[in-house]
Amino acid sequence: RSCQQGADSGDGSPGSAAAETPSSEDFSLSLLDTNLPAEAETELRSFIAKRLTKGALFEGMGNVASVGLSIPEYKVGCYYCRFQQENLLEMATLESDVSAPEYVVCFLGGSDKEDTFRLELDKYVQSLKINLALEQNSLETCVKPYLRSWFENAICPIQRVVQLFQEKLAFLLHAALSYTPVEVKNADERTEKDINRFLAAASLQGLVQEGTMTSLCIVMTEEQHKSMIVDCSGPQPQLHNAGSNRFCEDWMQAFVNGAEGGNPFLFRQILENFKLKAIQDINNLKRFIRQAEMNHYALFKCYMFLKNCGSGDVLLKIVKVEHAEMPEARNVVTVLEEFMRE
């Protein structure tokens, strides 16, 4: 037998429980920390035990499920992740008779929308894994406060950026979409981290070809006059060398309208929809360009699409980089650039 932990959080706070899994059934769960009432904690422990018995928890990979708890009397979203301490994992590899403790950390929110924050929560647990030490003083001084701040630190940054930038958010969305370098000045550590995390979450990284992204980053970094400066010395951030377009302004409005409800999960969903629409527009433009290589009417359709989509400036940059090695498509892009300039 070994040891395994879970941490849970009802309304944006955390908790945790511990267990051991040498085999799928030979384990016990012991509680390290929680802020759930006893009855709900027992129900959560039962849920995690069932998942462990089925072998449904993989090391370092978070899952999101809906869990029915008696307090409050409705289903809540539960993110849960199993992990081992890195230093003990190495010891267990060296000495086969040493059985390294394993942990399950659980975070509970009001809905199963934690799924949209799975990557952030995986990183959060990874950081916990690195810093976790079993000494009691470390548990009290480091681990428990870290667990209790999961909602603030992993879920709320996008919401905080929306509230800070308000209408100026359009410039931040444009920078993320166009891979424009952003320098943050005179900001406290949390604000700077929030802005950088928003830019990373809003960029199309992983959604467009890796080579395209690299080339765009190089092009935008070389155009130093295009670097956007965010000065946070006043109550409202001041922006220099900022660009925007109609597409980003429309989406900024969706964020500002959503701010009244104050639901951080809603902001993340809007951000995902923003990226989805940008990808759809890129794919449509690429399709029109392929048609335009042989058809002048399709070339006009390309031009009209770029004029009306609201983000023609950014889309043209992206397809220009992607089609750099394709002579016919490159000619189409060159003609489109001339038309757009005129």
* Closest C-alpha among 337, 335, 196, 175 to residue 245: 175
Provide the residue type at 308 as one letter.
Answer: N
At 187 the pLDDT is 95
Tokens matching residue 244: 């925007």
DSSP string covering 211-261: HHHHHHHHHHHH-GGG-EEEE-SSSS-EEES----HHHHHHHHHHHHHTTT
Report the range out of 6-15, 23-32, 162-171, 211-220 with the highest average pLDDT: 162-171
Q: What are the residue boundaries of the structural domains of the chain, listed by start?
A: 38-86+100-134, 163-341
Tokens matching residue 33: 């920390």
Within 10 Å of residue 290's Cβ, how many Cβ atoms? 16
Q: What pLDDT digit, counting tens, does each position of 107-150 carry? A: 998 666 667 888 889 999 988 887 775 554 577 777 888 889 99
Stated pTM of the model: 0.81
> How many residues are given for the chain?
342
Q: What pLDDT digit, counting tens, does each position of 70-118 carry? A: 876 677 889 999 988 766 555 555 555 556 778 899 999 866 666 788 8
Is 70 exceeded by the pLDDT of residue 167? yes
Q: What is the mean pLDDT of residues 176-205?
A: 93
Within 13 Å of residue 218, how many CA atoms lie on the same side as its CB? Answer: 7
Q: What is the mean pLDDT of residues 195-222?
A: 75
